[in-house]
Amino acid sequence: MDLWYTEEHSKDVRFSIKVNKQIYTKESKFQRIDILESEEFGKILTLDGLIMVTEKDEFIYHEMITHIPMAVNLNIKKVLVIGGGDGGCVRELTRYKTIEEIHMVEIDEEVVKACKEFIPKTACKLNDERVKIFYQDGLRFVRTKENEYDLIIVDSTDPFGPGEGLFTKEFYGNCYKALTEDGILVNQHESDYYTDYANSMKRAHKRIQEIFPVCQIYQAHIPTYPSGHWLFGFASKKFNPLRDFKEEEWNKLNLQTKYYNTKLHRGAFALPNYVNEMMVIN
Ligand code: SAM
């Protein structure tokens, strides 16, 4: 009998992947963690029944959430990743020799342990000597920080369960304070398509816009996320993601990427009309 993994993308839409087997399951203090194996997407990490990472399409998310801010400010030295327990963000960041320190604050140590054991494709750089992992709530962690990070990447779960606090105005305000004058905040910004995701996205955008002078949205195609169309937020104290884009310098680094390139960097900020209309604050 065929085995299928199914998740709800809206109350009337379900998304299914044929799987070979379940290779890990655990109810942690914070969430249910599962790792499945499939022909089409390789290994799949789900938290509370929602896909976080698949081996086949994780490169899109992780390249877009890291290389976009890095190509805007190549002097980034100290980075904070909030969430990100699968290690994909950290893996991409470690490719920059100029980054001196990467702090990752992940609420759930069990996610990190499971990914180190079963998904080394994303977790392979978590032992890099520049990486320090804090097992804490990201919301509390940033409260105590001031003028410390050049880049904060919010690689969180959705705005319910443990990730809820990472979409609040208080959190974005503390991120602002934790950033240096050159600081950039990038966050996974949910999707614009199904109503629940779109409402979360609009709320988050409005809150970030009230705090950061620069606040823009960019997009990527991620097949296993709801609707396949995913958004990211780019906010900063001074850098504009297109005007300050260091296209030539980034290309000189010769990083081999599978999704991100400098033409796509420009294109990713050109949003469909219906998304632009959603961003207009009433
Ligand atoms: N790429 C994914 C997505 O958009 O679906 C998210 C990656 S997943 C590894 C996100 C991580 O955020 C999870 O490991 C989860 O434990 C962590 N997380 C959730 N809430 C958190 C919080 N309040 N503080 C720190 N980490 C948190």
* Structural domain spans, the chain: 3-54, 57-279
The predicted model gives 22-38 an average pLDDT of: 98
- Is 183 labelled as part of a ligand binding site? no
- Of the candidates 120, 118, 61, 63, the one whose C-alpha atom is nearest the C-alpha of residue 87 is 120
pLDDT per residue as tens digits for the range 72-101: 999 999 999 999 999 999 999 999 999 999
Pocket test for ligand 1, best of 157, 166, 168, 186 (most atoms within 8 A of CB): 157
- Is it the case that residue 181 has pLDDT exceeding 90? yes
- Of the candidates 55, 58, 17, the one whose C-alpha atom is nearest the C-alpha of residue 222 is 58
Tell me, using a 6 A CB cutoff, whether residue 155 lines ligand 1.
yes
Tell me, using a 6 A CB cutoff, whether residue 163 lines ligand 1.
yes
Q: 32-36: long-range contacts at Cβ-Cβ below 8 A with a sequence spacing of 24 or more?
A: 33/108, 33/110, 33/111, 33/114, 35/114, 35/118, 35/119, 36/5
Q: Which of 102-111, 156-165, 184-193 has the lowest mean pLDDT?
A: 156-165
Work out the number of other CB atoms within 10 angstroms of the CB of residue 123: 23
Task: Supply the mean pLDDT for the chain.
Answer: 95
- Is it the case that residue 282 has pLDDT exceeding 60? no
Tell me, using a 6 A CB cutoff, whether residue 222 lines ligand 1.
no
pLDDT per residue as tens digits for the range 111-129: 999 999 999 999 999 999 9
- Distance from Cα 267 to the centre of ligand 1, integer Å: 27
Cβ neighbours of residue 282 closer than 8 Å, sequence gap 6 or more: none
- Is 31 labelled as part of a ligand binding site? yes
> Can you give the pLDDT at residue 81?
98
Confidence tier at 161 by pLDDT (50, 70, 90): confident
Q: pTM here?
A: 0.97
Distance CA 234, CA 159 (A): 18
Catalytic residue among 12, 155, 192, 196: 155
- Of the candidates 127, 147, 145, the one whose C-alpha atom is nearest the C-alpha of residue 136 is 145
Same fold, 3-54 and 57-279: no
Q: Collapsing DSSP states into helix, strand and coil, what is residue 276?
A: helix
- Distance from Cα 105 to the centre of ligand 1, integer Å: 9
Annotated catalytic residue 155: yes
Contact 36, 22 (CB under 8 A): yes
Tell me, using a 6 A CB cutoff, whether residue 138 lines ligand 1.
yes
> Can you give the pLDDT at residue 281?
52
- Is 25 labelled as part of a ligand binding site? no
Residue with CA closest to ligand 1 atom 1:
52
Tell me, using a 6 A CB cutoff, whether residue 162 lines ligand 1.
yes
Q: Which of 101-110, 126-135, 184-193 has the lowest mean pLDDT?
A: 184-193
- 133-151 burial, b at 16+ Cβ within 10 Å, e below that, comes to beeebbbebbeebeebbbb
Q: Collapsing DSSP states into helix, strand and coil, what is residue 129?
A: coil
- Both tokens assigned to 246: 């260091």
- Is 62 labelled as part of a ligand binding site? yes
Q: What is the ipTM of this complex?
A: 0.98
* Ligand 1 atom at minimum distance from 138 CA: 24
CATH superfamily name and code, 3-54:
Spermidine synthase, tetramerisation domain (2.30.140.10)
Instruction: Note the CATH number of domain 57-279.
Output: 3.40.50.150
Tell me, using a 6 A CB cutoff, whether residue 86 lines ligand 1.
yes
Tell me, using a 6 A CB cutoff, whether residue 183 lines ligand 1.
no
- Distance from Cα 249 to the centre of ligand 1, integer Å: 32
